[in-house]
Amino acid sequence: MNQDPDESFLKELFARFLENRCSEEEIILLMEYAEKEEYREIFSEMINRVGTEDHPAEEDLYAMHKEVIDGVAARITPPVPVRKEKTHRWLPYQVAAAVAFLLLAGGGWRWYSRSSSTSQVAQHTVAPALANDAAPAGKKAILILANGASVTLDSVASGLLTRQGQTQIIQSAGGSLLYSSAAGASAEPLYNSIITPRGGQYQVTLSDGTKVWLNAASTLRFPAAFTGTQRQVTLTGEAYFEVAKNADKPFLVTVNNLRVTVLGTSFNIMAYEDEAAVNTTLLDGAVKVTEGNNATLLQPGEQAQVVSQGNIRVVKHADLNAVMAWKNRLFWFEQDDIHTVMRQLSREYNIAVEIRGNIQRHFTGSIPRDVNVSTVLEVLEKTGGVHFTMNNGKIIVTP
């Protein structure tokens, strides 16, 4: 535009955004105006009004606006998580308003914490790194080959790493591992392991095309090429699987005594030893979860929780946003106590934690993982009831 817009133009553009009628160019234009100081009062007025408007719809309409909303959020640096609170149904107007309001933060982001019916919002802009700060998890892993040799994947160049039988092991330029198996692979399986340390994550594509994302402090053991009548891998820690479809050769994940059997589907397994349960969450397809003599078939959106040996509890409507947050580079808390929160931070940042005293505070909200630990601690501390100090690489937590 060659001249500054008037208030009526901005209101019309904002209304089009709320109704999901903005083009990509209009969204960018809206962002540019929202970031300008002279228009902030107008945008604040519009947001405050729209956010309190009563909308008759009872259905969750966020999905109708997801593409536009996520598109706006993705253009903000750092990326902004857009979420709905469990205790409150966010209508598309309110979600859109929240995204637009984020634009006013000048590149910052927000933490949402809900207590009873009151929503408390604290703005935070990323602070400079501290001297003893810890960086977020990066692409770090060690590959253990069948002959016992180890390769530190984050310190080797991209390209062909080695061959095992008829399988090529290739490191991609983007920092992931690819197993490419030719026809006629050896009938004798050669088992490899990929290990992510605390503070590391990695992605591997297995020889059948199955993609696996490993969270921090996890290990996946698998054959260089799948032979026989099934595809079997072993997991400790946490991983998200997108299994290549093969009706003639089921895919089997073993976690201690737990077995998850699939043909082709997407699911997440969380099996850290310091967590109370082993959780298998199905996103797409169908899986059978077996523990001892008990077995259950999951449908999309369900989660199998194994707390004690042989006991499987099925959650019919799992919180998929919470389950997939780690892969989407978010911390996602749902009324979690301080111990649950700090276990996640300890794995993500490879940092020791000591909790002193009785901390009653529970946390609900989402925070980007791609920030230093000091930033996360500062946001958590702003909610009240908890205090953090850094001492020789350890986080000290006190009431």
Report pLDDT for 27. Answer: 63
Residue 395: pLDDT above 80? Answer: yes
**pLDDT tens digits, one per residue of 10-27:** 777 777 666 666 665 566
User: Which pTM was predicted?
Assistant: 0.69
Instruction: State the CB neighbour count (10 A cutoff) for residue 154.
Output: 14
Q: Which residue has the tokens 């050669």?
A: 190
Q: Which residues contact 213 (CB under 8 A, 6 or more apart)?
A: 201, 202, 203, 239, 240, 327
From CA 140, how far away is CA 327, in angstroms rounded?
Answer: 15
Closest CA to 353 of 334, 333, 339: 339
Report pLDDT for 69. Answer: 47
Residue 393: pLDDT above 90? Answer: no
Strands (DSSP E) contained in 172-323 are 177-181, 191-196, 200-205, 211-214, 218-223, 231-242, 251-255, 258-262, 266-271, 278-284, 287-291, 294-298, 303-306, 312-315
**pLDDT tens digits, one per residue of 33-75:** 766 667 767 766 666 555 444 432 323 333 444 454 454 444 4
Cα 160 from chain centroid (whole Å): 30
